[in-house]
Amino acid sequence: MTIKRAYLTSAAYVVMIMTGIGATTFGAALPEIRETLRLTISQTGTLLVAKTVGYILGSLFSSFVIERVGKKVIGCAGAVMYGTSLLLFGVFPGLWINFALYLLLGIGSGYTQLVANSLIIELYDEKRSNMMSILHFFFTLGSVGGPVFVGLLYRRGLSWRWAFVTYSAIALTLFFMFLASRFPATGDGEGRGTKTSSFRLLRSPVVLILILLMGSYVTVQLGVGNWLTSYLEEYISLPLVFSSNIVAVYWAGMALGRLLCFRISHRVGHRRILLIMSVGAFLFILLSLLASSPAALLVLAGLLGLSLSGFYPIVMAMGGSLYRARAGAVAGIIAGGASLSASLLQWTMAQISDASTIRVGMVFYAAVAAMSIVTTLAAMRLVRRAGYVDV
């Protein structure tokens, strides 16, 4: 069986659509999910942490074993975990059984996204960062679909659970796509880091700063995506359907930004793009917290999504390019380590909101965005010293 690059690329795109639509559906349906499962804000924060912890476990574990068992096994297992957890989530009320299911969902997400990222890095030597931008465009494409689909269900008087059942069918399709594929051998190709172990990667200053940068980005991106609907409904008093549409615009801005990165990244340069976007993210989240007009919030949500769009694909491309022969391992370590720092910050936001208001919790995300500017400057310096060239 020959390796079909176009087919494997399509499978990677399905991964991103599936995980994108699943990630934003939870945020868009959060008020109804809390009511169905009878959860407080603090318990909801615990539930969000479950998926993040699962993602950390899935990303880190798979990064250490992927070279032994192969991407095909990791991808198939992840698709099964993802689909099963979505199918059963919310069937029973209460925190802990759904915590376990959301933990499994996170593990499946970590497995499948690691496979998707490492496939693109290994299959494309030319303009790797461009292909990573396209890959993560499909995540944002799915992310836009999540709130829109939830809004459609609500207008038809249907439960949010129908969305999760639908996404489990996508996971089943992905399983068969992986099962029918031949994957490239993990670690094919030459490049820096050929003999670098996964444990040594964890001690690399470059990898550590990329983890911190990705962690601050993931905190703001998913934090805003998960809590924006609740913030708009509870603090601004906007209708649920309109709030879901604002969240959709936020993810649409991110999708547009990733297409823009695809077009301009080699002209402007990756390091400069990251700095511009980190400043923009801080500015637009701050302005969003000062705005109360629905029209202004709609525009600012799109601009905030645009400002956050380049971080994930560019940081992944940087790590994969510096450690080409360990693409799967470095992708998993960056994703898992970033999610670990993001989970701690997400939990902190939930506690702040529970003790005060959700608005104060959103201000916390603005502070994290400000921190990402400093981290971006440090990362630019270290990757330049490591010899990174835009690819």
Residues 312-344: pLDDT tens digits? 888 888 887 788 777 777 888 888 888 788 778
Distance CA 4, CA 22 (A): 27
Asked if pLDDT for residue 191 goes beyond 50, the answer is no
In a domain, 225, yes or no: yes
Asked if pLDDT for residue 194 goes beyond 80, the answer is no
124: CATH: 1.20.1250.20
Kindly state the percentage of the chain with pLDDT values over 90: 30
Residues 1-45: pLDDT tens digits? 567 888 999 999 999 999 989 887 887 788 888 888 888 877 887
Asked if pLDDT for residue 350 goes beyond 50, the answer is yes
Q: What is the mean pLDDT of the chain?
A: 85
- Which of 171-180, 224-233, 358-367 comes out lowest in average pLDDT? 224-233
In a domain, 185, yes or no: no
Distance CA 244, CA 238 (A): 10
In a domain, 390, yes or no: no
Q: Which residues have a Cβ under 8 Å from the Cβ of 166 and sit 6 or more positions away? A: 149
Asked if pLDDT for residue 365 goes beyond 70, the answer is yes
In a domain, 57, yes or no: yes
Domain holding 108, by residue range, is 5-180+193-385
- Please give the pLDDT value at position 42: 77
- DSSP string covering 254-267: HHHHHHHHHHHHHH
Residues 73-95: pLDDT tens digits? 999 999 999 999 999 998 888 78
Give me the phi and psi of 95, to 5 degrees please: -85, -50
Residues 103-128: pLDDT tens digits? 999 999 999 999 998 888 888 876 77
Q: Which token pair is 268?
A: 């402007």
Give me the phi and psi of 137, to 5 degrees please: -60, -40
- Please give the pLDDT value at position 10: 93
Q: Which residues have a Cβ under 8 Å from the Cβ of 103 and sit 6 or more positions away? A: 50, 51, 53, 54, 57
In a domain, 64, yes or no: yes
Over range 127-137, report the average pLDDT: 82
Number of domains in the chain: 1
- Which of 95-104, 233-242, 286-295 comes out lowest in average pLDDT? 233-242
In a domain, 365, yes or no: yes
Higher-pLDDT residue of 7, 261? 7
Candidates 315, 334, 324, 332; CA nearest to 383 is 315
- Please give the pLDDT value at position 60: 83
- Determine the 3-state secondary structure of 62 from DSSP: helix
In a domain, 187, yes or no: no
In a domain, 391, yes or no: no
